[in-house]
Amino acid sequence: MVIGIGVIGAGVMGRDHALTLADFIQGAALVAVSDVDVNRAEAVASATRVERIHADARTLIEDSAVDAVLIASPDATHEELVLACLAAGKPVLCEKPLAPTVEGCLRIIEAETALGKRLVQVGFMRRFDPGYVTMQSALKSGQVGAPLLMHCIHRNASAPPWFNSGMLISNSAVHEIDIARWLLDDEFTSVTVFKRRPLDSAALIDPQFIVMESRQGTLVDIEVFVNARYGYDVRAELVCENGTLTLAPRPPLLIRSSGQEISSFADDWRAHFSVAYRNQLRAWVGSIQTGIPAGASAWDGYAATTTAAACWEALQLGQTASVKFQDRPKLYN
């Protein structure tokens, strides 16, 4: 069965997902695109040979040719659009964050729980990255023993002008929050966030250094630095009782010349995580065909946003904040 997919948002990520869907994903047909900027929607539709263009995301969701929806519009629109997909009974893959506020995530959980079946997947694509997947299986094999610490680095070459200090956490470090929860199969209970001495109060707080403690006592630190200038660089090391697990560097090219070895970095996450993005879409389409959910659930989206909100509180107060969760509905066990 071929799944007809509609993509909402024709910006950087929407375009990337649309091209991947059109060219690499068997069992899926990209059938519709929408964006508030119709020119942008038309550009993506013409690049992907799609005929149905909607100026309004809601008409795309209601379009009978659309069996499932991918949301890649701005973070603030996610909640309303995910709720509209649930009301239409259509599976939805929503880019992270599921919603920027904890309350928004809870409203989605309430709506999905009322339906009694999982239709929401959150776009935490690192769960499909071969590096992290291998790290998880190595950890589960028991070869290096129990995890003690995890060190993470998340550097972007540059952040867009509209990026604010909270987004370093809610938009960037939220990936580490999710992948650490997933790798450790654990939840964070308290968080502290450090900033270097601010230069002036209007400046973006960048970099930030986050330290989180989990229920089982594992410590995870994240350096998040969104204007690192030299390239996109994501690293992770798990320190365990009997050894360590480290993501291998993945430069697209190594140059040896004049007595030096030079490796290069991807410009941004699309190139660095291209395999993860493809695998994520394959898993999503497969999950719609089989009815067996894959990837991060709405609960995972809620847990990531809740932890990120506690980090923001800790940064503002300059002290450790605790992370408090609601009871987990049975649907997500």
The site for ligand ISE (CB under 6 A) is made up of 156, 171-172, 175, 269
Shortest CB 269 distance to ligand ISE, Å? 4
CB-nearer residue toward ligand ISE: 189 or 274: 274
CB-nearer residue toward ligand ISE: 66 or 304: 304
Shortest CB 172 distance to ligand ISE, Å? 3
Shortest CB 168 distance to ligand ISE, Å? 8
Shortest CB 125 distance to ligand ISE, Å? 8
Cα separation of 245 and 139, whole Å?
8
Peptide linkage before 207 cis (omega within 30 of 0): yes
CB-nearer residue toward ligand ISE: 156 or 218: 156
* Amino acid making up residue 309: A
Shortest CB 323 distance to ligand ISE, Å? 21
Q: With beta carbons less than 8 A apart as the criterion, state whether 226 and 172 touch.
A: yes
CB-nearer residue toward ligand ISE: 132 or 269: 269
Cα dist from 132 to 125, 128, 135, 178, 185, whole Å:
10, 7, 5, 12, 13
Lookup: tokens for 106: 């809870």
CB-nearer residue toward ligand ISE: 115 or 271: 271
Query: What is the end-to-end Cα distance of the chain in Å, rounded?
Result: 28
Nearest to 295 by CA among 104, 159, 92, 156: 92
Residue nearest to ligand ISE (CB): 172
Nearest to 224 by CA among 315, 302, 149: 315
